[in-house]
Chains A and B, each alone.
Chain A
Amino acid sequence: MIEQARLYLYNAIARVTGAAVSLFARLITALRPVWLGCEPIADKRVYFANHTSNGDFVVVWTALPPSLRSQTRPVAAADYWLASRLRSFAGRWVFNAVLIDRRPDMRTENPVDQIVAALDDGYSLILFPEGKRNTTAEAVLPFKTGLYHVAAARPDVDLVPVWIANLSRIMPKGEIIPLPLLCTVTFGAPLRLNEGEAKADFLLRAANELRALAPVAT
């Protein structure tokens, strides 16, 4: 009974917090979703995006229509999101993140299995295949292999490249106060693993598809 009440309370707080975070992101960035290569429909998908800022999955999540938002879970690093009670609540309850351990020696679960299990449960996912935040001058860092393994395990799931523009300037690594600049989230054409496609070829192709969504470098 008390346990039940606690769940309801957590859920309510999580919903309000999620709405507040989205509203804040919109006010700061006048966030604009651009559906270039696909439509915002309730297909099971893996959205994979460039990673330059702490706020990355928040803006992708906010750019999705509310009906899709509750069906979409970000894949995030457990060591970061479980580091404090507040983050832990945000990660588990507000964003319903799939928390994976980045340290291979400490793992109890295989990250790819966790991701595939979430897909099988009917969720779409937000994934950052570069593995860490990109602070270099390169548009995207070489992809880690996770995206390939997910594509190989579930070849019928659309992989949608998502380009987040400007967020590295809005919220650079180490800064606390966001700069209110315009942010556009561009959704490209879905791709899948081709039959017989090698791992390296696929990862290069996916990275190129993502890079192609970036606005012309200024």
Chain B
Amino acid sequence: MTAPPSELVSFLVAVGAILSIATIAGQTLRSRVAPDRTNPVIEEINARIASWWAMVVLIGLALLAGRTGIVLLFAVCSFAALREFLSLTRTARADHWSLLLAFYVILPLQYLLVWHDWYGLYSIFIPVYAFLLLPVLSALRGGPDRFLDRIAETQWAIMLAIYCASYVPALLNLHIPGYEGRNILLVAYLIFVVQFSDVMQFVWGKLVGRHRIAASISPSKTWEGFVGGVATASLAGMALWWITPFSPFVSLSVSFAMCLAGFAGGLVLSAIKRDRGVKDWGYVIPGHGGFIDRLDSVLFAAPIFLHIMRYAWSLK
């Protein structure tokens, strides 16, 4: 195992400082407005901040552990996300084998391929071979009712929860001249910018949000929140140019693209929740809901970030 790059420690300290400020602000707000913990908005914000601490410690440890840590962390996240997604789909008994295969074979194999840096296979393994094989298993078991619905829902679940999530650790495979040994910072950069965009969209939306973007999909997504959140997070991404191979201006542009993708992810996964009549994907992360509620934006941003890097910066 190689030592983590020095910038990683500075970066984690900076994130810790931001969270400390948020914690103090949240506690001050509670003591000023509702010390008896009766204001649901303030309580939700404080629960979210507490969960952020736990998530940052976990992600920070994985980043410090390097390649192994990040691959394992995202494999576990994929498992939890797939579990949440498939819990809301309408599969039938005939799908039992194909779903077992998705959890116990396809998921570990995809991460093994990412681990081994086999881009030629991990980029097509799920969208070509898994998607061809799984419906065969379901068909062999009989049960043609809503067959197309069932395989489509299963494939979209696997696409997001396994395939897209695995593009985060895949960033470790890039070969960028002059940036050797520091790829782990790209993972930190992606997660930070996209999550900061989510947080800032929430904050701007609560402060000045008036005009809803898609009221029938999500009551909390407003144009004011979107513009304020994306702008703030893109600027934060620019300020982080020193952990990337980019100049400050390029860092601003890349962050902007990731924030747009992240917003799209949040919107699409909200639409699915709305269709299924649930507020959250799960209940594991206090204040946030499930794993997918937190990962939605990362799932959309990760492949786009990887491909930008791969075609414009990487030698391979």
Q: How far is the CA of A69 from the CA of B290 in the complex (A)?
A: 28
Query: Which of B90, B93, B276 has the most A CB atoms < 10 Å from its CB?
Result: B93
| Least CB distance, A104 to chain B, in whole angstroms | 31
Residue of A nearest to B282 (CB): A182
Contact with A along B22-45 (1 / 0, CB 8 A): 000000000000000000000000
Query: Which of A32, A181, A216 has the most B CB atoms < 10 Å from its CB?
Result: A181
| Least CB distance, B125 to chain A, in whole angstroms | 21
Q: Are B283 and A179 in contact (CB under 8 A)?
A: no
Main secondary structure on A side of the interface with B = loop
With contact pairs A30-B282, A182-B282 given, residues A166 and B100 touching in the complex (Cβ less than 8 Å) = no
Residue of A nearest to B103 (CB): A180
Q: How far is the CA of A30 from the CA of B81 in the complex (A)?
A: 12
Q: Are B96 and A175 in contact (CB under 8 A)?
A: yes
Q: Are A181 and B86 in contact (CB under 8 A)?
A: yes
Q: Are A180 and B83 in contact (CB under 8 A)?
A: yes
Q: At the interface, yes or no: A131 with Cβ under 8 Å from chain B?
A: no
Contacts of B86 in A (CB 8 A): 179, 181
Q: At the interface, yes or no: A133 with Cβ under 8 Å from chain B?
A: no
With contact pairs A30-B83, A166-B87 given, residues A179 and B96 touching in the complex (Cβ less than 8 Å) = yes
Q: Are A30 and B93 in contact (CB under 8 A)?
A: no
Q: When the two chains form the complex, which single residue of A30, A169, A179, A216 contacts B277, counting CB atoms closer than 8 Å?
A: A216
Main secondary structure on B side of the interface with A = helix
Q: At the interface, yes or no: A218 with Cβ under 8 Å from chain B?
A: yes
Range class of the B interface residue count: 20 to 34
With contact pairs A30-B282, A180-B103, A216-B277 given, residues A172 and B79 touching in the complex (Cβ less than 8 Å) = no
| Least CB distance, B154 to chain A, in whole angstroms | 12
Query: Which of B84, B87, B282 has the most A CB atoms < 10 Å from its CB?
Result: B87
Contacts of A216 in B (CB 8 A): 277
Contact with B along A188-218 (1 / 0, CB 8 A): 0000000000000000000000000000101
Q: When the two chains form the complex, which single residue of A32, A179, A218 contacts B99, counting CB atoms closer than 8 Å?
A: A179
Taking A32-B283, A179-B103 as known contacts, 18 extra A-B pairs with beta carbons closer than 8 A to each other, sorted by chain A number, are A30-B282, A166-B87, A169-B91, A172-B93, A172-B96, A175-B96, A177-B104, A179-B86, A179-B96, A179-B99, A180-B79, A180-B103, A181-B83, A182-B83, A182-B84, A182-B87, A182-B282, A218-B276
Task: List 23 A–B pairs whose Cβ atoms lie within 8 Å, in order of A's numbering.
Answer: A30-B80, A30-B284, A32-B283, A166-B87, A169-B91, A172-B93, A175-B96, A177-B100, A179-B86, A179-B99, A179-B100, A179-B103, A180-B83, A180-B103, A181-B83, A181-B87, A182-B84, A182-B87, A182-B282, A216-B277, A218-B88, A218-B276, A218-B277
